[in-house]
Every structure is written in structure tokens, then in C-alpha cells.
Structure 1
Amino acid sequence: MTDPLKLECRVADLEFPNPLILASGILGVAPSSMLRLARAGIGGITTKSVGPRIRYGYNNPSIIEIDDGTFLNSVGLANPGIDQMILEISEFKKHSTIPLIVSVFGDGPEGFAEIAKLAEKAGCDAIEINISCPHAEVASIALSPELTHEFTHAVKKAVSIPVFAKLTPNIANIIPIAQAAEQAGADAIVAINTLRGLALDYKTGRPLLSHGIGGVSGKAIKSIGVRVIYEIYPHVNIPLIGVGGIYNWQDVLEYVYAGASAVQIGSALYQGDHIFQEINQGLLQFLESEKVSNIMDLRGKAHQYTEQLEGKPKECQ
């Protein structure tokens, strides 16, 4: 019989029963939906990004499947506002013990901090600061080490619970951004957010999303997410949460090998919430067969091969 303790992991001061966390933006904020996922075997939940007031976002179509398991979305940070979210946080925490992470945004650093304070007061376990949504005003924050530091520091000063900084892949060198978040006090880094993309109607040339440009998620970005975690891992001393294109237990292991302490799953949920139990079972069977006592024993394993990787391509003689 497999031992579920093999999947336990820690991020900052939070204990997760397994490394699978719901990514922000997938479900609404209804406690019934979040509790259903908790019963389905997920280890933690990240809410939709919430701001100071109700926001309706962009008109439909705001999300489309552009390839098998790959999506393009431009929701525009639609959310019910922090006043409603406070009620949902409180209701969820009455019925579940798994960590609840609230994703926040606001009007400037102080706005982020104020939303975070209200979410903490409502009973959430951690804050994820959304400084990287590719189709909203916050997109430019995580392109700048200075802004990343400023926003992260403001939120960290405002709350006593862990703060996670969610970073963008839409940048040439993410390492200075990750280091800026760490220096500002971030307790973990979440990577990656979606990549900027565009889909056009092949008959008319018209953009398929109402907003035009959106964020690409799902299977197509997994190797990018794994690469980003791999690149950040040697340069920071805080946990990493890997996001992007995770559909099965093998995908989870890739992120863990690259350096992730946990992962977030989003697009795959469109297949049904049964995926969490299936992924956990696959991980347990693998760990049992490999005689690994805990999944975190595999974290960063890919880096032992760094010196064996070829540097320059061979030239013709």
C-alpha cells in the first residue's frame, strides 16, 4: 500500500498534503467549487486574482482552445472585488484545512498591500501577488527588478502570512526579477504566468479574442515553465512553485527535478477534477517503485547533470 506522506511538501511555513495547487484564474471564488477540489485531492488552492472593486473584465470570447490542451485567454482580471472575496475566504476556511492562497492586485503598491491585509484578516494562509498578468495593467511590474521589489516589499510589510511573487516569462532574463522579489522579502516565487500570444481567424484575419492579444497556457508552455524554474533555482534561496502545462504526474516530476517545491495546475482542470487523484496516484506509485521516501528528495535533481551538458556545439574539422 502506498504511503500518502510521500507527497507532503512545505512551501515557506505552509504544509501541503501533496504538491498540487490550483493555479489562479481557473475557477470562480465560490466556496462550493473550491471545496469540491479539496475533496478531489488537491493540496492547495489559489483564488482568482482579486482587486479593490468588482471588475467584469473583457467581453467574450475571452478564452479559446488554440490547440489540444493549449489555451489563449484574455479575461482582464475579472473578479468580484475584495468585499465579496472576504466572505468566500471565510466560508471556505470553515470547511477545509488545506492552504488557501489569495491572488491579489490593486492600485499601486499600497493598493496591493491593502487588498492583502484584508485577505489575511479574512483567514487566508498566503498571498500571491499578481505582478505579471500579460493582458492587464500589472503586466509591466514583473519586467522591472525595481518595481518587483517595490510591490513585493509593500505587501510583505502589510501582512504576517507568506507572500508569493508570481513572475512573467515574457522577459529575456528572469533571474534579476526573482532575486529582486527575494530581496524584498518574498517567501516563494511562482513561475510562470502565461506567455503573450495572438490567434487570428484564418478566413478574415480578425483576432479571435475580444481583446486581441492574450496569454497562452497549457501544454505548449510546459517546457518553458520547466526551463524558467531550472534557471531560477541556483540563484535564490526561497522555494519555487512551478506553473505551466502540467497534465500528468510525469510533468510534475519535471518541475520538481528542475527545482520546484510544489506546482500549480490550471488548464488541465478542463479535463475534470479527477486529474488530481490520478496525478497523486501516479506520483505515489513512482516514488514507491524508486524507493524514494518523499517527493522533495527529488527536488533539483536535474542540476546534478549541469556540468555534463555540452557547452559549445562541435565544429566541422
Structure 2
Amino acid sequence: MLSGIVATATALLLSALLTALLRAPVKRLGVLDRRRRRAVPLSGGAAVVLATGLVAAAGDAAGVAPLGGGVGRLPAAAGGVYVLGLAVDLWRLRWWVPVAGTAVAAVLVVPYGETGVVGGLLATAWIVAVTAAFRGLDHADGLAGAVGVVTAFGVAACAAFELMDGIALLLSVLAAALAGFLLHNWHPARASLGAGGALFAGFVIASAAVFVRAGQGIAAGAGVLFALTAVVCADAVLVVLARRLARWPLTRGRPDHLGHRLRRLGLAPRAVTVLLGAGALGGVLVGVCAHTGRVSGGAVGWVAAVAAVVVLALVRLPVTPVFRPRQRTATTSSQVTGQLRVRNG
């Protein structure tokens, strides 16, 4: 217990420190997120990966929470996914490259002995989908970090219930690292995860959840996995459905995620993060309770129903830009005022 507290505290502080220290060199290298009002350095991904990897490796080496033979492949595969995501940040690779790379990594970590061949293939597809969907949350300040913290802690709780100490420590450390990064990513963000960090976090969370639920039935396992990642899944379904209805290419980005649509309704950036974080917490609580047998599987159905209502309510909302740059508006207003004075003079 004490060792877990020390590990999570170390990961939190280390991630917060590394995110701050790496901002300047990353900015000089030009590795920036340019989707926001101002370009933000992508130092958060490296900080989260380093903090998670170093602390988890230290715990494994010290024998405090050994990952074990099968689970030991997970950090290595996640590191490969991060490198692939970093290449996407640097060189803007085609959309299928990170998907294919994540699929290869997922094939290497799925415990086929517990899942079987069919269950293993379904688990691989689910890991790839959740990993890609988690990357989609990294479009707004604080959103990926907040949802990631809640979800990682939920999976850690499920692992602790199954006495999987290695996975529980790994997910607790990841959650703490994301919390440390969130100190710099809260609106207005000073650092961002980038594709590398988002793919790494999503892959670790999805793969660890598969390990925890392996061998406990496909249908029941799917329900728990959905509840643990309800916001991530709802965002992905909303994007796919909206783009299909609008006949928009699925691989071509546009402001049509949950966060974008809630901003269109007038919510402030921080309010969007808090609301979706609370939604993730609700789903995680149901998922943990269903996994531990505290509630029946019907509770997962209620989570799915709420997610469906949200998706259907927002799918037809316009996806035009939420705001205009203030500087441009101010300049335009001053020019119009000057022109009126000239005409009146």
C-alpha cells in the first residue's frame, strides 16, 4: 500500500516536472500542436511516457509489483506505439500507419490463453479502436488528461480486485503521470500530449483492461470494458455517425467531437472538461462495480442508454468553428471604425 502511494506520487511529480522542463526544447524543435488558438508544445507525451516507464520499471525491478511474464510485454509494446505516434507528430504520416502499428502491438500483448482465438481477435480490434478514439480526445485543453486519469484509475481498481498488482501499479502510475501533465494542460494549455502521448495512454489503458477481463466471458467483458471507456466510445461513435451522415471522409478531421459540440452549445472550455470528466467517472464507477459484482449487468445498459441519448442529441448540431480569433476581430473593428471616420470627415 505504502509503496503504491510512493510510486503514484513520484510519477505525478516527475511528469509535472518533465512537462515543464521539456517545453522549451520541444518548442525550439517546432514540435507543436497548432489546432488551438496558439501553438502548444507537445512535451506532455514524452513526460507521461518517461514518468510511467521509469516508475513502473523501478517497481518491477525492486520486486514491489512485478509485471509478470505476459504483462511485461505491455510497456514495451506501448513504447513502440508512442514512437509511432511521435513519428506522426513529426512527419504527418498517413492515417493507416498508426492504426496498423497499434494493431501489431495489440496482437503481441493480447493474452490468447485466456481469451481464446476469437476473443483475442475481438480484443485486438477493441484495443485498436479505443487507442485511436483516445487520441481523438486530445483536441481540447485538459480533456484527454482528465478522462485518462479517471479511466486509468478505474482499470487499476479492477486489477487490484483481481490481485493483479503489476497491472494495478502500472495503471495507477499512468493515472498519476496524466494528472501531473494535466497541471500544464488545463485551460489555457501550456503543453499537449500529441499523437505519441495520446496513443501511448490509450493503448496502455485498453490493453490493461483486456488483461483484467480476460477469461470472464465475451459479452459480460464487453459491457464492463464499454462502461470503463464510455466517454471515449461515445466520442468515437458520434464522430463516425456524424461523418457518415454528412458524407464526410472518416479520416479527414473536422470539429465534430463531443468537446467541439458542447462548445457550440455555449459551454466554456473548462466546463466541457469537467462535464466529460464527470461523465467518464460515472461510467467508470459502474464498470468497476459491475466487474466486482456490486451491481448487475443491467447497470451497464443504463450507461449505454445515456451515451446513446447524448450521441443522438448532438449528432445534428452544426460543426462550424466555435469561435473566431480575437485579434482578427479587433483589427477588423478598428479598420471599420477608421473607414467610417474618413467617410464622415
State the TM-score, normalizing by the size of structure 2. 0.30
Structure with greater proportional strand content: 1
Q: Which has the higher contact order (CA 8 A, sep 6+)?
A: 2
Larger radius of gyration: 2
In terms of fraction of residues, the more helix-rich structure is 2
Question: What TM-score does the superposition give when structure 1 sets the normalisation length?
Answer: 0.32
